[in-house]
Amino acid sequence: MLSTQQDLFAAELTPLSAQGTGSATSPKRRLHIGNHILEFSLKRSTRRTIGFLINDDGLRVTAPRWVSVAEIDNVVRDKQRWIFAKLNERRDRKARQLPAAMQWSDGAAVPYLGGTLTLRIVAHQRSTISCNLELAELMVCLPVDASEQQRKECVQAWLQLEAKRIFGERLPLYADKLGVRYQSYALSSATRQWGSCTADGRIRLNWRLIHFSLPLIDYVVAHELSHLLEMNHGPRFWSTVQSIFPEFEVARKTLRQQAPATLPAF
């Protein structure tokens, strides 16, 4: 399965009332501090002191192997003011870097297959939508009193139809190259995965891939189809992917660098 990079902060303050039970297999530690839970990763090393690092993944604590977890928690509590301040600073800095919310109005740019389509809003009694690839325009005809939400929903529906069509063309192509057969495929709206594949051949592809170039779509298609032979991410799996998509390493790196925040919010 391919995962998206949705979480800007793996460690942040979350109200207790909003917390679930969490996962027993999570590598993160959760520490109750006041009315919040501080989540951080703990790494053991040969260093002699406890160190703190705050980056895009949140808070990481590195501690000597001989220091108990209780002692580590106490040190984290002692440093809580500094930790909270740094986490908030980083979160605020990231928030300032996010693009302004998209306005679903005439002239807006809609990401499509690695490029952009200019949105053209036309008042018309009949609701229709059409794409002119030569002009790189997406024409949306709606009643004059149509809301921005209706415009957005119209564009989303068209993008999903395009995703369904294009994915449906690429899947048989790579399935033939690999010599496998899948049972079915469907669109997903997952926030953490670009695609998934079950052992019985049911494939799901995130419709938001339609924003990206065809090579990135092909990489995800090849990735998921390869799971029909290798339901893991071991060396044999990646060799399988490479056999039908030689440029997979470049595509994988590029996809990881795509910031979800730069995509239109639906």
End-to-end CA distance of the chain: 23
The per-residue pLDDT for range 197-247, each reduced to its tens digit, is 999 999 999 999 999 999 999 999 999 999 999 999 999 999 999 999 999
User: Which value, in Å, is the radius of gyration of the alpha carbons in the chain?
Assistant: 23
18: pLDDT strictly greater than 80: no
Q: Which residues of 63-74 are buried (b: 16+ CB within 10 A; e: fewer)?
A: beeeeeeeebbe
135-158 average pLDDT score: 92
Residue 6 has a pLDDT of 32
Say what the pTM is.
0.64
12: pLDDT strictly greater than 70: no
The per-residue pLDDT for range 51-108, each reduced to its tens digit, is 999 887 889 999 999 999 999 999 999 999 999 888 888 887 776 555 557 788 899 9
Residue 90 has a pLDDT of 83
